[in-house]
Amino acid sequence: MRHRHVCTGVAVLAAALIGGTAWAQKGTGEASGMGRRADKPPIVSLSGTVKETKVGPCKLTTGRSSEGAHLIVQTRDRTINLHLGPSAAVADVLKAAPAGQALAVQGFRTDRMPADAYVAKTVTVGDRTFTLRDDRLRPRWAAGRGGGRGQGFGRGPGWRRGYGGCF
């Protein structure tokens, strides 16, 4: 019985620490991802030349990754900050689009984003098209239902059958 109380206390403490981190990553963007919203923003076509690549913390993320990849793109009339996604998930795009590379983008923005910021749905570099989000604007790297945890967090085959664990 004492073991159960200790495990429960540890679980509550871990949830509080992880939960605080997750909320801190929400930033000034939307409260949830675009894939979950019924009203989708319009998709716009942009083209230009990559001026710079930025990889680092993203203030507008709604995802779990704290590090995002951005391309600073010079279009015909302005400079935009193109949000790609987590750097590990978009490494192939970053490799194909170094500074000086021309590209075309299908992207979107919301009213809560700065005027020069867009989120990439597809990026076309030369004859290669990278699809980063599907038609519902759900990122291709997003986990499936349940966050990719299969039967649900902590509820695998040994759930409450004496196979160890705190619960």
In order of their start, the domains of the chain are 34-131 (2.40.50.140)
At residue 149, does pLDDT exceed 70? no
Looking at per-residue confidence, does 38 or 102 come out higher?
A: 102
pLDDT of residue 122: 97
58: amino acid identity, one letter? C
pLDDT of residue 24: 28
How much of the chain exceeds pLDDT 70, in percent? 57
| Polymer length in residues for the chain | 167
CA angle 24, 137, 45 (to 5 degrees): 110
Judge whether 79 and 72 are in contact, CB under 8 Å.
Answer: yes
At residue 77, does pLDDT exceed 80? yes
54: amino acid identity, one letter? K
At residue 124, does pLDDT exceed 90? yes
Residue in this structure with the two tokens 């690549």, named with its chain if needed: 53
Provide the total of helices (H) and of strands (E) in the chain, helices listed first.
2, 6
pLDDT of residue 21: 34
At residue 34, does pLDDT exceed 80? no
pTM across the whole model: 0.64
Nearest to 46 by CA among 69, 68, 77, 70: 77
Mean pLDDT of the chain: 74
Residue 75: which pLDDT band, with cuts at 50, 70 and 90?
A: very high
4-18, 20-34, 39-53, range with greatest mean pLDDT:
39-53
pLDDT of residue 141: 86
